[in-house]
Structure 1
Amino acid sequence: MTRQLITFHVGSQCLGVDIMATREIRAWSPTTPIPQVPAFVRGIVNLRGMVLPVIDLSARLGWGDTEPGARHVIMVLQIGDRQYGLIVDAVNDIATIDGAAVQPPPGISGDGQDELLEGIVSVDGEMVLILDLERLAHNFGVPEEVAIAA
C-alpha cells in the first residue's frame, strides 16, 4: 500500500510526516514564550485567532536548539485533536512511498528517542526518518487551554 509523506530537513537530517497530518506551512514568525513548559516548546503564535503551540523539533529530538531565522518555517500539523507548529529548516517535497519499504527504527539510541520514529525509508537515495506524531506529541507539556483553539 502506498502512502504520501511531506519531507523536510532539520539540520542535515531528512524527516517525513504523513501528508494527511499537515495543515499548512507558514513562514517563521517569532513566538511568545509561555511559562513552565519543556525547553523544546518555543512558545505560541496566533494562527487566525487560534493559539498555536510551537515546538522546536530539533530540540525535541535531542539534536540541540534551533536558532530560527528567515529561512525556517513552521509546519502546522494536526496531532490527535490538536494542532501544533513544528520549527523545521526547510520543507522538501511530497514523497509517495511503498508502505512495505518502511523499515522499523533501529532501537539503538538508549535514550528513548527512537520511540519517536515510526520507521525509516529511502526516498531518492536519502534516508528519511518518519516521525510517529502521536508519540512525538506525548508529554509536550503544553497546557490544555493553550493547545486548543481559543
Structure 2
Amino acid sequence: MATLSKNTENTASGTREYLTFRLGEEEYGIDILKVQEIRGYEQPTRIANAPEFIRGVVNLRGTIVPIVDMRLKFNCSKVEYNSFTVVIILNLRNRVVGIVVDSVSDVMELASDAIRPAPDIESAIDSSCILGLGSVGERMLILLDIEKLMSNVDMGLVASAE
C-alpha cells in the first residue's frame, strides 16, 4: 500500500513522529522509525498451536512475516475485518513483524512536553510497554514501545536486547 519516508530531522529538537492507529475506540501511537510499510489486510496462513492473537504468517516479497492481531492481544470487545483493517509492517531489531489494527489515522509530531506518564493501572497492556500518553488538542494517544511489546515473553516475536 504505502512505504513511509523516515524524517529524523526533528528528533534533535525534542519532537518525535508517531504513526497513529485505532483499536476500537482507543487511539495509539508508535515510533514512525519502526514502521516499514502499511498494507491492506489479507488472510494469513494459520500456524498450528500458535496463540490466538498470532493470526498466522504472510509472504512479503520472500520474507515470512508473523501477523499479530492487536485487537485480540489487547482483548478488544469486537474484532471485525473490513476495508479499513490494515497491517502495519514493522522492522524491529532486524525482524519483520506485522500488526493488524482497525485503521491508521496519520503521522503526528509530538514534542516531549506533550507526553505525560501513563497512570499505573491494570490493563491488557504491560505498563512497561507504554511510553506515555500524548495529547494533541482534544486527542489522547496511548504511545506504545512496540519493540518492547513484541519482545514480551508471551509474544516472543523479537529477541530481547539484553
TM-score by length of 2: 0.80
- Identify the residue that residue 111 of structure 2 maps to in structure 1: 98
Listed as ranges, the gaps of 5+ residues in structure 2 are 1-13
Give the distance between the partners of 2:23 and 2:70, measured in 1 at CA: 8
Aligned length: 144
Listed as ranges, the gaps of 5+ residues in structure 1 are 145-150
User: How far 1:114 sits from its partner (Å)?
Assistant: 2.4
> Following TM superposition, where does structure 1 have runs of at least 4 consecutive aligned residues deviating by more than 6 angstroms?
none
**What are the Cα deviations for residues 86-141 of structure 1, in whole angstroms up to 9, with x where unaligned?**
10111111101001321122111166632331111112311100111122102314
**What are the Cα deviations for residues 35-64 of structure 1, in whole angstroms up to 9, with x where unaligned?**
222211110111111101000111222324
Q: Is the 8 A contact 2:147 2:158 kept in 1?
A: no
Q: Matches of residues 32-47 of structure 1 in structure 2 within 5 Å?
A: 32-47=45-60
- Identify the residue that residue 18 of structure 2 maps to in structure 1: 5
- Identify the residue that residue 70 of structure 2 maps to in structure 1: 57
- What code does the residue aligned with 2:134 have? V
Match of 1:117 among 115, 120, 130: 130
Match of 2:99 among 68, 83, 86: 86
User: How far 1:143 sits from its partner (Å)?
Assistant: 9.7
**What are the Cα deviations for residues 8-50 of structure 1, in whole angstroms up to 9, with x where unaligned?**
1111110000110110000110011112222111101111111
Aligned-residue identity in percent: 32
Give the distance between the partners of 2:27 and 2:156, measured in 1 at CA: 26
Please report the RMSD computed on the Cα atoms of aligned residues, expressed in angstroms.
Answer: 2.0
Q: Is the 8 A contact 1:62 1:113 kept in 2?
A: no
